[in-house]
């Protein structure tokens, strides 16, 4: 599929169930209303010579893409990147997501994710099956921040995170380093840490003042 002169799509760029589509070629496309790509099992390449910097909601689910080069969003209303079995890394200059943020089941748990500029998520923040994660500038998550079943991730650090709705850290079997030095509030949910088999020793939240829901810490460590 190609559109050699297409620069802007005001509405959604929707591709669904195209089981033999192998490539896209939009060399001058820079802006779309939203991206909705689902069940594209043969899609392996993106011909985006210029970069798409603006989009609303973004869903890229069940493709064979190995890279998202050419999609360099600075903001989005939601982000869902899931079940892309060859996607080994993502590095995107997002500053904020006003709705939900989800990364799940990409590259069989070996994907690394870098969102070094991300400061706020207006909905839930969920990551699973990652090997590493950079969210060094993230300050607020309005709903729950979920770190679940990241079986190859050894370090989980959110050095700037101040406030979340709730916090769930569970099933991260290789996790041995946990750092949330600035987190002060869980505003409308629980703080749950369990089933992180390699996480031993002290679990410290030195700035934590408020947990509005349950506080449940289970494992071979002191809190």
The two structure tokens encoding residue 77 = 């209303």
Give the model's pLDDT for residue 222.
59
pLDDT at residue 46 in the model: 86
**What's the pLDDT at 220?**
73
- Provide the residue ranges of all domains of the chain, joining segments of one domain with +: 1-87, 107-223
pTM: 0.94
Nearest to 151 by CA among 170, 174, 132: 174
* pLDDT-derived band at 213, boundaries 50, 70, 90: very high
Please name which of 133, 128, 142, 136 lies closest in space to residue 185, comparing C-alpha atoms. Answer: 142
pLDDT in tens, 33-52: 999 999 999 998 887 877 88
At CB < 8 A and 24+ separation, what contacts does 105-112 make? 105/129, 106/81, 106/82, 106/130, 109/150, 109/151, 109/152, 110/152, 111/87, 112/88
pLDDT of 223 over the 60 cut: no
Burial of 152 (0-12, 13-18, 19+ CB in 10 A): middle
Which range, 5-9, 25-29, 38-42, 164-168, is most confident? 164-168
Residue-wise pLDDT tens digits, 168-185: 999 999 999 999 999 999
Helix (H, G, I), strand (E, B) or coil at 107: helix
């Amino acid at each position: 599929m190609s559109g050699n002169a297409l620069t802007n799509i005001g509405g959604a760029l929707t591709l669904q169930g195209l089981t033999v589509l192998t490539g896209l070629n939009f060399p001058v496309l820079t802006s779309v209303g939203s991206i909705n790509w689902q069940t594209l099992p043969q899609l392996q390449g993106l011909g985006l010579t210029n970069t798409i910097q603006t989009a609303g909601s973004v869903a890229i689910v069940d493709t064979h893409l190995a890279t998202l080069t050419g999609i360099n969003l600075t903001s989005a209303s939601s982000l869902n990147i899931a079940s892309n079995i060859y996607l080994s890394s993502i590095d995107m200059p997002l500053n904020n997501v006003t709705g939900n943020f989800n990364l799940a089941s990409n590259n069989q748990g070996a994907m690394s994710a870098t969102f070094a500029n991300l400061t706020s998520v207006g909905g839930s923040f969920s990551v699973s099956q990652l090997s590493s994660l950079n969210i060094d500038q993230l300050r607020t998550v309005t709903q729950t921040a979920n770190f679940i079943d990241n079986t190859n991730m050894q370090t989980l650090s959110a050095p700037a995170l101040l406030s979340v709705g709730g916090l769930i850290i569970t099933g991260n079997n290789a996790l041995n380093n946990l750092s949330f030095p600035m987190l002060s509030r869980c505003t409308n949910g629980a703080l749950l840490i369990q089933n992180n088999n390699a996480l031993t020793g002290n679990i410290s939240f030195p700035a934590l003042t408020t947990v509005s829901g349950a506080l449940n810490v289970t494992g071979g460590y002191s809190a």
